[in-house]
C-alpha cells in the first residue's frame, strides 16, 4: 500500500504528531510516498522519489517489489521493539533491488539524529531447507507471513545489487541470549534459496547482527559489515552456501551484545546433529577488530567463532585485532575441526591482540588459549600463518577514517590462496592468488555505496 504525500520543495520534514512520523527528503524531492501495510501485487517504486517505510511492511501473495537505483527508503522510528519498522518479503514473494555503485539503494533511519537500532531489518523468507524444517523469524509475531524454510534448495527470492542498510537492529534487546537464534536485524536471510542473487550489500551501524543467514542455500559476494553491535556475519539452523569477498570491520566495541564476533557459526540451540548442518563455505574475507590491545575487557570477542555443532570451510582470509582470538572452537566443535570432520580453517593470515590466544577454546566457563589447536592450524596441511602485529599484514591503510584494505608491497596477503578441493574449486569462486577480500582493485573504496562513517 502506498500513500502519497505532496511536499513543498522548501520543506525538510513532515511531522505526524499522532505517530511521531518523520519524513525527511532532499531539496530535489517534490513528493514522498509512504510504504505501509501489505504489498500484494507487483510493485515498482519510482526512481525519482524517496520513500517512508511506516511500521512493518509485508510483501506477500507472490508479489515482487522492485526498487530502482538511487532510491532511499527512510524507516519510521518507534521506541518499542515490537513496533520497529521492517520490510518483510514473505515466502513466494520477491524483492529486486537494482542499485549501482554510483546510485545505490539505501535503507536508513528517518530520524534527524540517527542511531543504531532506530528500525528493524530487511527480512527475506524463502522456501529453502533448514535443520528445523519450517520456522518463524525471531522477533516477529508467529504467522504465515513470518514463516521460512522448505525443501526447495534453488528457491528464488529475487535479486539485490548495491544496497546499503543503516541503523537497523532495533528489534534486538541488549545482551540478547546468545544460546538461541537472534532476533532479525540488518539483512536477515531465512530459508533463502540459491536462486536468489545477492551482490554488493553493506550493513552499517546495526544495533545487533549485520548479516544473518538462517538456514537456506543462498550464495553472495561483496558484502561489508561496518561497526555493527553484535556479530557481523551470523550463520544458523543449517545454512549451506558459498560466500566470497566479505569484509567485517569495526573500530569500536558495543554495549549491545554479550560477545561480538566477526563470524559466528552455530548449528542449533541444543545442539543436535539435525541436518542440514550449518556449513558456510567462505573465501577471501577480511575481518578487522578495533585497533590496539584492550586495557579493559569489552564485548569484542572472536574473529571467527565456530560453535554448537556447526561445520564450516573458511579459507584464504585475513583475521586481525580481535581481543579474544582469531579462531575459537567450543566443546562441540573442537573435535570436529581437529578431526577434519567436514570442517576446515586453512590458508588464512591470522593475528590477535595476544598471540597465545590467536587460536582459542571456549570451555563454556572461560575462554582459554589452545596450543593444540594452534599447532594443528599452522601445520603443513592447514597452512594458516600467525602474524604478531596487524602491521605485519602490510595493508595500505588499516585504520583511517576511510580504511584501505588493499595489500601493499611485500604483503603476505598478495599470495598464498588455495582453491583446491571440492568446495572451493566450484565455478562460484573466483580463483585469486591473494588472500583477504581485496586484491589490486579496491571494490570497497569510499563511494556513494560504500560509506565509512
The per-residue pLDDT for range 407-434, each reduced to its tens digit, is 999 999 999 999 999 999 999 999 999 9
Residue 387 in any domain: the answer is: yes
Task: Flag whether pLDDT at 29 surpasses 70.
Answer: no
| Residue 132 placed within a domain | yes
Percentage of the chain exceeding pLDDT 70: 91
Tens digits of per-residue pLDDT, 359-379?
999 998 889 999 999 999 999
Place 257 in a pLDDT band, splitting at 50, 70 and 90. Answer: low
β-strand 349-352 against 318-322: which pairing, if any? parallel
Query: So what's the pLDDT on residue 2?
Result: 47
Q: Compute the distance between CA of residue 421 and CA of residue 249 in angstroms, rounded to an integer.
A: 29
Q: What's the CATH number where 144 sits?
A: 2.160.20
**Residues 25, 48 contacting (CB under 8 angstroms):** no
Structural domain of residue 386, as residue ranges?
2-414
In the predicted structure, residue 256 carries a pLDDT above the cut 60: yes
| Span 314-327, average pLDDT | 95
Element (H, E) at 264: strand 263-266
Question: pLDDT tens, 167-219?
Answer: 999 998 776 666 678 899 999 999 999 999 999 999 999 999 999 999 999 99
Query: Hey, is 412 helix, strand or coil?
Result: helix
CA distances (Å), origin 167, targets 47, 115, 205:
23, 6, 5
In a domain, 368, yes or no: yes
Is 118 inside a domain boundary?
yes
376 within some domain: yes
* pLDDT for res 82: 95
Alpha helices in 267-387 (DSSP H): 334-338, 371-377
Contact 59, 41 (CB under 8 A): no
Residue 294, burial from CB neighbour count under 10 angstroms (0-12, 13-18, 19+): middle
**Over the chain, what is the mean pLDDT?**
91
User: Which residues partner with 148 through β-bridges?
Assistant: 135
What's the rounded Cα separation, in Å, for the pair 364 and 379?
27
> Has residue 395 been placed in a domain?
yes
Query: Residue 47 has which C-alpha cell?
Result: 526512481
Q: How much is the pLDDT for 341?
A: 96
Q: How many domains does the chain have?
A: 1
Q: What percent of the chain has pLDDT over 90?
A: 82
- Give the dihedral of Cα atoms 154, 60, 138, 57; nearest 10 deg: 130
Is residue 234 in some structural domain?
yes
Q: Would you mind telling me the total number of residues written for the chain in this entry?
A: 453
Has residue 442 been placed in a domain? no
Amino acid at each position: 500500500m502506498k500513500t502519497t504525500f505532496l511536499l513543498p520543495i522548501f520543506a525538510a520534514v513532515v511531522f505526524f504528531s499522532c505517530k511521531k512520523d518523520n519524513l525527511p527528503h532532499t531539496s530535489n524531492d517534490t513528493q514522498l510516498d509512504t510504504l505501509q501495510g501489505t504489498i500484494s501485487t507487483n510493485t515498482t517504486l519510482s526512481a525519482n522519489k524517496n520513500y517512508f517505510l511506516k511500521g512493518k511492511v509485508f510483501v506477500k501473495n507472490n508479489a515482487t517489489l522492485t526498487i530502482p537505483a538511487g532510491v532511499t527508503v527512510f524507516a519510521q522510528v518507534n521506541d518499542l521493539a515490537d513496533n520497529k519498522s521492517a520490510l518483510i518479503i514473505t515466502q513466494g514473494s520477491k524483492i529486486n533491488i537494482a542499485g549501482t555503485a554510483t546510485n545505490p539503494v539505501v535503507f536508513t533511519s528517518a530520524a534527524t539524529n540517527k542511531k543504531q537500532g532506530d528500525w528493524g531489518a530487511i527480512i527475506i523468507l524463502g522456501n529453502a531447507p533448514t535443520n528445523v524444517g519450517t520456522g518463524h523469524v525471531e522477533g516477529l509475531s508467529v504467522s504465515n507471513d513470518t514463516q521460512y524454510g522448505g525443501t526447495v534448495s534453488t528457491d528464488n527470492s529475487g535479486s539485490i545489487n548495491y544496497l546499503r542498510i543503516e541503523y537497523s537492529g532495533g528489534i534486538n534487546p541488549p545482551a540478547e541470549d546468545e544460546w538461541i537464534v537472534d532476533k532479525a536485524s540488518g539483512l536477515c536471510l531465512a530459508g533463502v534459496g540459491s536462486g536468489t542473487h545477492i551482490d554488493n550489500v553493506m550493513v552499517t551501524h546495526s544495533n545487533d547482527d549485520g548479516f544473518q543467514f538462517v538456514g537456506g542455500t543462498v550464495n553472495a559476494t561483496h558484502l561489508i559489515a561496518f561497526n555493527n553491535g553484535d556479530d557481523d556475519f551470523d550463520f544458523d539452523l543449517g545454512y549451506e552456501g558459498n560466500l566470497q569477498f566479505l569484509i567485517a570491520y569495526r573500530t569500536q566495541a558495543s554495549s549491545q551484545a554479550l560477545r561480538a564476533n566477526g563470524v559466528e557459526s552455530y548449528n542449533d540451540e541444543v545442539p543436535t546433529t539435525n541436518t542440514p548442518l550449518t556449513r558456510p563455505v567462505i573465501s577471501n574475507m577480511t575481518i578487522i577488530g578495533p585497533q590496539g590491545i584492550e586495557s579493559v575487557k569489552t564485548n569484542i570477542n572472536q574473529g571467527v567463532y565456530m560453535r554448537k555443532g556447526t561445520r564450516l570451510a573458511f579459507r584464504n582470509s585475513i583475521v586481525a585485532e580481535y581481543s579474544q582470538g582469531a579462531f575459537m572452537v567450543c566443546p562441540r566443535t573442537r573435535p570436529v575441526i581437529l578431526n577434519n570432520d567436514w570442517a576446515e580453517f586453512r590458508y588464512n593470515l591470522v593475528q590477535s591482540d595476544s598471540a597465545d590466544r590467536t587460536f582459542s577454546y571456549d570451555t563454556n566457563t572461560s575462554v582459554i588459549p589452545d596450543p593444540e589447536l594452534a599447532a594443528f592450524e599452522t601445520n603443513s596441511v592447514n597452512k594458516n600463518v600467525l602474524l604478531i602485529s596487524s602491521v605485519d599484514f602490510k595493508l595500505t591503510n588499516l585504520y583511517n577514517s576511510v580504511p584501505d584494505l588493499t595489500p601493499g608491497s611485500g604483503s603476505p596477503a598478495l599470495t598464498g590462496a588455495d582453491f583446491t578441493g571440492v568446495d572451493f574449486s566450484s565455478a562460484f569462486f573466483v580463483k585469486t592468488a591473494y588472500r583477504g577480500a581485496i586484491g589490486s582493485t579496491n571494490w570497497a573504496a569510499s563511494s556513494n555505496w560504500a560509506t565509512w562513517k
